[in-house]
Amino acid sequence: MATEQMDIDDSLYSRQRYVLGDSAMHRMANSSVLVYGLGGLGVEIAKNVVLAGVKSLTVQDPKNATMQDLGSQFFLRESDVSASKNRAEASSPHLAELNPYVSVMTMTQPLTCDSDLSYLSIYQCVILTECPLNVQRRVNEFCRAASPQIKFISTDVYGICGSAFTDFGDKFEVVDSTGEEPKDVLIGNITKANPGVVTGLEQAIHGLESGDVVAFREVKGMTAVNGRQFEVKVINPYTFSIGDTSSAEFGEYESGGMFVEVKITKEMSFEPLEKQIAAPSLLTPDLTKFDAPPLLHLGYLTLSQFIEQTGSMPKPWDNEDALKFIAMAKSINDSLSNKVENVDENMLGLISKCAAGCLAPLCAVFGGVVAQEALKALTGKFTPLNQWLLLDCREVVSSDASQFKPCGDRYDALRICVGNAFYQVLANAKLFMVGCGAIGCEMLKNYALLGISSENGKITITDNDLIEKSNLNRQFLFRPRHIQKPKSTTAAQATVEMNKDMKIEAHQHKVCPQTEETVYNDAFFENQSIIVNALDNVEARRYMDNRCVANQRALMESGTMGTKGHVQVIVPHLTESYTSQQDPTDGDFPYCTVKSFPAQLEHCIQWARDKFEECFVQNAQLFNKFVEVHPDIENIAQQLVSGNSIDGAVKVSKFLAQRPTSFADCVCQARLRFEKYFNHKAKQLLHSFPLDTKLEDGALFWASPKRPPTPIEFDSQEDMHMLFVITTARLLADVYKIQWTEQDTDRLHVESLLSEVKVPEFRPSNKRIVTDETVNKEDATPQEMSGDVIVLSGQRILQACQSNKNTAIHPVSPLDFEKDDDSNGHIDFISATANLRAQMYSIECGDRLKIKKIAGRIVPAIATTTAAVSGLVAIELIKVLAKAPMEQYKNCFLNLALPLILLSEPGPVQRNVLREGLSVTMWDKWEVRGSKDFTLQQFLDSLKQQFGFEATSACQGVKIVYMPFMPGHSKRLPMPMTKLLKPVAGQQYVDLVVSFEGDNDEDVPGPPVRYYF
């Protein structure tokens, strides 16, 4: 398929589309990029650009593969080194395999100051790596002189330092500076004043910044603001002003309305490289090293001059070259208009000594960041880097690095950076990683390049998922031929292909309480050097965190969501753990809001999602379970007719009464559901609460945020109406195992079937409608059924059995909601249902992509963020394995859209004082060693003797072992612990929760107590 015809609805790009949007995806699909230099950094950038889906990528490199390249270039193999193969030519087949829609081309000529640069004119973005500064200057001048201007990026990783520079020309338009989804915010008030002040309903946080633009709609009273745009001036998080609203044009605000942020195109201007060299605009990523960026910039300029003068990098850990380097840096600094005030000679010396090496995870960081900058250059989506990013990870350098001796293997570039002792620590590490998805694939690549487990160590990975097509554009170890194969075994095989020294054991188990005793027990955790999370949900993260705390193992935690990412370093006895901070919970909407009073599209989507579960999943599951437990259904019906209540019988009776036997029956049911959902429900609400209904305080019932519904009249000429009917009929047929063909779902055929459907008239009922937002679904659902309802249920079942005796109680097929298969009708049903409900309540409808994202709880994902986050994790992993001090660890939050990178020291673990001179943390665990006949009294005495506390209670999970004031517990004191705790055969210990008597006669919770039998 030609790139120009690429269907961006293809599931290959499904997660990325939520980040970039269709417009940006189209622009990328018509753009060409050049990446010069296919070392570790260049190939990382190229990989991410190909995965993103540009039209074409050209990789240019004059160098042949060397053994040292294998330590950072993951698409080179030892055979390429043996054959002296060109790096670009060796890598291009692997790059092309990543994405069938991208043309990958190769060039091998060098780029010099004498090169004819006219060939660059066909590219929209040029990215230079491993390129002399004077060549960078010349290429940058050419790109700026081109018409239209070519976007220019230069970037390098030299040892333990990295740099990136962007120049997108004199006038660069940013169409969406943040990429954040505009949110509808309900209005509480707008003052008629100069300036007019807007307040959100119930003091809602508006989330705006001064200079943002908002548009209003549905405002009553001050109707002049509707449909107009206003520039915002923020007053506080809850209010903002919009200019003069005091004139006669603006009426007094009465009620209702909402505002939404309007995305306004912004223009940015960039300076050329020549000017930025002398006066750089620097991003400060590390909050613990504010003085680092200017110093690193000086180091970068010095390195460029050193190479230009000597023709080579400074020799690894050569003191003479380091002294030359420092002297040269001081001279350059004197010539700069913006001088570095405090020239750190030690850091400059470190730059010199490590420059010939390459820390592969730093290539991943800059490869992710720079690739994202390239996408910005092509699309105008998100705010570009302005204009330098410089970062170092000096903390990974060990004291023995000065003893560096080359071994001639793939790890020399790493040894130059971290030293041989640290390399040995990595090679012998035992690592357990949970998850082999996007972050997991990137981490495995980093492990291969770092040589983790390459000698006496072992990597254990587990993931119980299979590979899907939508995984391919961000889980780069997988190819189309791997679809429906296990992620873990496939990823392990791909990693070993990168580095044959790797020792990887792949599992397909879920890490959860069910595998805690059999596979991933305490002994397993205690045998690991470090644990790495590559998970995508909070529940699993919390579980892993608890297991690591219980077994006192370091944990590397990370995650991504679109352009955002986080890294958390968790080290026993030093840092807080993942659960030390409360993660924000998913916002659940009040039951009555979703059920009867939606005010936003999200409420309608939740209602549609609930309807899917109720109609096609839960009711079918209930029916199958009921007939399995009660196979003699007619006998059950007789009991119901006699007035005997049976759990689930009422729902089952309705299910049986509506059971279709043909596709025409399914169409009939779908039409009746349309009438029930979008016509009768509205009429019932207006019957129960007429438009003039008032509350006890005299206020109108139908006031913002409540919206009165308008009944929808079915019209077969309306596409949305027919989409609902056809999709609902399809899904009903799937549940009831009714065969259907494409001809059955033909619109004209369905219209003919609809002409035969008799739609009942609306009849109002006295059913209570919940209006209290504090009432949940369980409380709102009546638990008791009247005798008449029970009898009617029995009659329905008997009637169904008599009319369809052979099929009435046959099992049905509950659906398994699948958001990524667009052919199954699941998202079509939810999209149609949500938009019809939105229409009924005069809420703005949503496009299918947005509804799919919300209904499927899809986490947006893009390869650039994943690469950057995984690189940061791997850098911290080196420090943890090397047992670095607390102040050297870095947590990170990043948002590549802004771009924002914040590195900071992890939060220290909290200490709880039990008494003066004795404090404990969440990492502490006390041990008591007993024997076969050890009694409860001896256990309590041991606690008193070892820790100086009188135990007031002891629990084993939810089981209370000892609590003095409970009846009969004093009689337990002489009983053996084995009898009280009942260990299974072979069990060596049990963890107990013990409380102690504090200074004020209050119970003090102590740390977990591990009792050994």
Please give the full DSSP string across 863-878, using - where no structure is assigned.
HHHHHHHHHHHHHHHH
What is the phi/psi pair of residue 291, to 5°? -85, 0
Q: What is the spatial distance between Cα 910 and Cα 923, in angstroms, rounded to a whole number?
A: 10
3-state secondary structure 36-68: ECCCHHHHHHHHHHHHHCCCEEEEECCCECCHH
Closest CA to 198 of 247, 249, 251, 236: 236
Q: What is the spatial distance between Cα 926 and Cα 948, in angstroms, rounded to a whole number?
A: 12
Element housing 507 (H / E): strand 504-507
Closest CA to 240 of 202, 187, 184: 187
Task: Say if CB 649 and CB 626 are below 8 A apart.
Answer: yes
Length reported for the chain: 1013
Task: Say if CB 152 and CB 167 are below 8 A apart.
Answer: yes
Which residue carries 């790139």 as its tokens? 3
Task: Say if CB 439 and CB 561 are below 8 A apart.
Answer: no
Q: What is the spatial distance between Cα 874 and Cα 899, in angstroms, rounded to a whole number?
A: 21
Q: How many Cα atoms sit within 13 Å of 391 on the Cβ side?
A: 30
CA 278 to chain centre: 39
Please give the full DSSP string across 482-495, using - where no structure is assigned.
GTTSBHHHHHHHHH
Alpha helix ranges (H) inside 568-680: 591-595, 601-613, 619-629, 633-641, 649-657, 663-675
Element housing 1005 (H / E): strand 1003-1005
Q: What is the spatial distance between Cα 899 and Cα 922, in angstroms, rounded to a whole number?
A: 35
**Whether residue 592 lies in the annotated active site:** yes
Closest CA to 574 of 791, 889, 972, 1004: 889
Element housing 281 (H / E): none
**C-alpha dist (Å) from residue 965 to 165, 812, 1006:** 71, 54, 19
The first and second tokens of residue 750, run together, are 């369905």
Catalytic-labelled residue, pool 592, 604, 666, 892: 592
Q: What is the spatial distance between Cα 983 and Cα 962, in angstroms, rounded to a whole number?
A: 17
Q: What is the spatial distance between Cα 227 and Cα 197, in angstroms, rounded to a whole number?
A: 18
Q: What is the spatial distance between Cα 405 and Cα 142, in angstroms, rounded to a whole number?
A: 42
Which residue carries 């908002």 as its tokens? 214
- List, by residue number, the catalytic residues: 592
